């Protein structure tokens, strides 16, 4: 589990098997500065490695999930600096390195990089009044952490183009209707309870199956249907090599509760 003290995030373990990372930079509405992203990656990697963690909740405050990349940090950045330091590249750690499911619980603003961060997660829950958007155009720039790609896949080109070219926001209710959010809640308390309940459900299953399921669903975003189905079948075959597949099916036949070994 994460060991060092953090300045811009809080890391906790609210239930057995469930980790929570709370973005906590209230003075800047959780603007995603490089130091914040460094801490986020550090905590995510620690929970991903921890044998005690099965699912991770990523949230902000009631007022803001995250109001974007840190505009003050970026304002003087030059092309050479951005290019030579691979600015933003480390943001992708969340999608490339973390094998355990991440549930985004979004309340308040999720703008620019904040919207992109939520879209990188595996399950997105939000409040009906959440405020999503890619307002980069208003700052003379464009989405830079996958927004043009992930939002477009999630809601289609027509809506994504409309939003990204105008900088208009969309509500949590719309996110639910458009399929960006899997569930929409009436209040912040219900949102957090819902996210925790889902994380606990996931933590009640075999880690081998959970991580395999996450991997194959995410592959559907990169592969064509033929390669995707083949990839799924390879992983499915592989899971017959786990102890937990034997345990789960034996427990079903014996009408008992499965006691997973996570092996
Ligand atoms: N960066 C830095 N500081 C911010 C940011 C931000 N993105 N958002 C808010 N803050 C700061 C404000 O400057 C203010 O600080 P201060 O008190 O020192 O003046 C404090 O947070 C509170 O903000 P407001 O007073 O503006 O609060 P309001 O409730 O009036 O408004 C809004 C809330 C509507 C969210 C407003 O703050 C806002 O419009 N913020 C900017 C939203 C935005 O444009 N986000 C996109 C940023 S660009 C981006 O994300 C590019 C992504 C590229 C890939 C990732 C790159 C790292």
pLDDT digits (tens, 9 = 90+) for 191-216: 999 999 999 999 999 999 999 999 99
Secondary structure, 3-state, 67-130:
CCECHHHHCCCCHHHHHHCCCCHHHHHHHHCCCCCEEEEECCEEECHHHHHHHHCCEEEEECCC
- CA gap 102, 79 in Å, rounded: 32
Q: How many angstroms does the Cα of residue 112 sit away from the middle of ligand 1?
A: 9
> Which domains does the chain possess?
9-203 (3.90.226.10), 207-253 (1.10.12)
Please list every protein residue whose CB sits less than 6 Å from any atom of ligand 1.
28-29, 31-32, 67-72, 88, 109, 111-113, 135-136, 139, 143-145
**Based on the number of CB atoms within 10 Å of its own CB, is 67 exposed (0-12), middle (13-18) or buried (19 or more)?**
buried
Q: How many angstroms does the Cα of residue 260 sit away from the middle of ligand 1?
A: 45
ipTM of the complex: 0.95
What lies within 8 Å, CB to CB, of 78 at 6+ separation is none
> Which pLDDT tens digit goes with each residue over 18-39?
999 999 999 999 999 999 999 9
DSSP letter at 253 equals H
> Which pLDDT tens digit goes with each residue over 162-193?
999 999 999 999 999 999 999 999 999 999 99
Residue 199 phi, psi dihedral angles, 5° rounding: -60, -40
Q: How many angstroms does the Cα of residue 64 sit away from the middle of ligand 1?
A: 10
What is the β-pairing status of strands 169-171 and 131-133? Answer: antiparallel
232 touches 213 (CB < 8 A): no
**pTM over cut 0.90:** yes
- Which amino acids are annotated catalytic? 69, 113, 116, 136
């Amino acid at each position: 589990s994460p060991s060092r003290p953090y300045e811009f995030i809080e890391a906790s373990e609210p239930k057995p098997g469930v980790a929570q990372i709370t973005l906590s930079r209230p003075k800047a509405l959780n603007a995603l500065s490089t130091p914040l992203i460094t801490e986020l990656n550090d905590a995510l990697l620690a929970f991903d490695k921890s044998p005690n963690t099965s699912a991770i909740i990523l949230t902000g405050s009631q007022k803001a999930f995250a109001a974007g990349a840190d505009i003050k940090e970026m304002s003087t950045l030059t092309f050479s600096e951005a290019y030579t330091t691979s600015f933003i590249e480390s943001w992708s750690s969340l999608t490339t390195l973390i094998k355990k499911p991440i549930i985004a619980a979004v309340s308040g603003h999720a703008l620019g990089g904040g919207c992109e961060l939520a879209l990188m997660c595996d399950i997105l829950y939000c409040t009906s009044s959440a405020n999503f958007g890619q307002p980069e155009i208003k700052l003379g720039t464009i989405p830079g952490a996958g927004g043009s790609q992930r939002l477009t896949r999630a809601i289609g080109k027509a809506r994504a183009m409309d939003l990204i070219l105008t900088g208009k926001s969309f509500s949590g209710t719309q996110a639910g209707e458009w399929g960006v959010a899997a569930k929409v809640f009436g209040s912040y308390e219900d949102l957090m309870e819902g996210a925790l309940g889902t994380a606990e459900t996931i933590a009640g299953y075999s880690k081998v199956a959970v991580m395999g399921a996450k991997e194959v669903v995410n592959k559907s975003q990169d592969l064509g249907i033929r390669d995707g189905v083949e990839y799924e079948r390879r992983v499915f075959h592989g899971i017959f090599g786990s102890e937990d597949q034997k345990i789960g099916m034996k427990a079903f036949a014996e009408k008992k509760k499965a006691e997973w070994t996570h092996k």
